[in-house]
Structure 1
Amino acid sequence: MQTGRMRTELVSEPGDPDRPNEDFAGVALPASGRGGSLVVLDGVTPPGDGGGCLHSVPWFTARLGGALTELAVSLPDVPLTETLSRALARTAGSHAATCDLSHPRTPQATVVLARWSPVSVEYLVLSDSVLLAESPDGAVTPLLDDRLDRLPRSALATHALVDSTLRNREGGFFTAAADPSVASRAVTGSLPRGEVRTLTALTDGAARWVERFHEGDWADCLALIRAEGSRALVDRVRELERADAARRTPRRGKTHDDATVVHAELAAR
């Protein structure tokens, strides 16, 4: 999508073509044409019992993502933490009467939310999706919530252990589920608009190029996207996943994960 001197590119692909994509991605531009926002969610695959909810993870990410997309541009003066809190409350209200929202695996998602104006770029990151901010001189800054990465592997041995001791708990990690107060746990900040040339959001399925396969650093990842496009990054990840599965004992986690990339080249002010 191109508007004036602004260009955005979005790619989202399920890890398994026979299963729905649990990611959500969206870009919104206000009617004024000044500024914009992007939203990327990575839905958390539920356990076999469904997590106490009648609804699917794609149902949840679509509603939460839609609420975030609307609120981020319709309420430009509301901080992003409050935007996420309101979106979570709205989404929870749509199924609180039918579902057990206290279940540790009630539908939930990681969040990347960014909003820019002629003055600033605000950002919010919750859990293990990634936001890359590129400056006009080409320097790339990863904006991360690394709490999950800092946990010892022994603490992540089973889903039951994670759910009972770490998920949405102090000393563990946080995801967007039913509790609006989790918004205060997100990594947030603001950058001067003149210091940001591009923003790129990736779910961990796309970020595997850096984080799992170590094909390059974040600057190399962005260089690939700029040179060949977001689709090329996802295609490279799929090639690496297939090669890895063919030659190794299977790793912990999915062989193929949903992969989403949103790349926004911001218009000059």
Structure 2
Amino acid sequence: MRTEVVSEPGDPGRPDEDFAGVGLPACGQGGCVIVLDGVTPPKDGTGCLHSVPWFTARLGGALTELTVSVRDLTLSEILSRAILRTAEAHATTCDLSHPRTPQATVVLARWSADLLEYLVLSDSTLLLESPTGTVTPVQDDRLARLPRAALITDAVADATVRNKEGGFFTAAADPSVAARAVTGSVPRGEVRALAALTDGATRWVEKFHAGGWTDCFTLLRKEGARALVDRVRALEAADREERRHLGRGKTHDDATVVYAELR
């Protein structure tokens, strides 16, 4: 298996809130890819003593261990256990009921000789490439389908749609959200390569419309993950003043890409 991992903070003066991992079992059979996009906290706090990078490192570490070592659990069960384990690590010191308790989007992929399983929660993206070159995006589009009025401010979103029925879900402190994730599986022979991307990297497709998902995957295969992130940064810089594409969003976002060719 050939893999490439790139993760770059949107602001060099702040820590990267994303997490990326690749796991290979000691038996040499199969593997896994894990990508988390930590949710940037509001200025008025999260009810937690810990940072978002602390949270994504804890949750990502638990997911890596469980995905590699416990093959009889589903990915939803693994995410549920990892969320619970992370919550227990700071339940006595922090208010985990706060709507902005540290949280993250999730992409998980695990494969064996016969099967590839996947899980996506919130707005990060998994791309699967078939042996014929067809690229299939796996996404949880609930956030994208919400009316703009529901997201007009952090306060409105937190009160009405964040981790709420009819809204969208992230991995925070409630293990039950794992059942809300988009999950599925395909025969291992139908996937020759995959890529997991946070929304800071998918901006190339979704915000700047520089190409489609197949174009994005071709760029990753031919030029690498670094090239995709560099192109996103160039587009962000070019739109800094007019904000024709960026709108009210942050100019630069943490951008993470994991690319894997399966053998």
Q: TM-score, normalised by structure 1?
A: 0.96
Report the equivalent of 1:143. 138
Q: Which residue, 233, 242, 247 being the options, matches 1:251?
A: 247
Report the equivalent of 2:101. 106
- C-alpha separation between the residues in 2 aligned to 1:166 and 1:139? 34
- C-alpha separation between the residues in 1 aligned to 2:12 and 2:18? 13
Greater Cα offset, 249-258 or 144-153: 249-258
Q: Does 1:57 align with 2:52?
A: yes
Report the equivalent of 2:201. 206
Q: Show CA shifts across 1:3-46 (max 9, x none).
A: xxx10000000000000000000000000010000100000011
- C-alpha separation between the residues in 2 aligned to 1:23 and 1:133? 21
Q: TM-score, normalised by structure 2?
A: 0.98
- C-alpha separation between the residues in 1 aligned to 2:78 and 2:194? 19
Residue 174 of structure 1 deviates from its aligned partner by 0.2
Q: Does 1:187 align with 2:213?
A: no
Q: Show CA shifts across 1:162-219 (max 9, x none).
A: 0000000010000000000000000000000000001100000000000000001000
* Structure 1 gap ranges (5+): 1-5
Q: Show CA shifts across 1:101-132 (max 9, x none).
A: 00000000000000000010000000000000
Q: Which residue, 248, 253, 260 being the options, matches 2:256?
A: 260
Secondary structure of the residue that 1:247 maps to in structure 2?
A: coil
- For these two proteins, the number of residue pairs brought into alignment is 262
* Structure 2 gap ranges (5+): none
Q: Does 1:32 align with 2:27?
A: yes
Report the equivalent of 1:13. 8
Residue 58 of structure 1 deviates from its aligned partner by 0.1
Matching residue's letter, 1:165:
T
Q: Does 1:48 align with 2:43?
A: yes
Residue 48 of structure 1 deviates from its aligned partner by 1.3
- C-alpha separation between the residues in 1 aligned to 2:93 and 2:44? 16
Give the superposed CA RMSD: 0.8
Residue 253 of structure 1 deviates from its aligned partner by 1.6
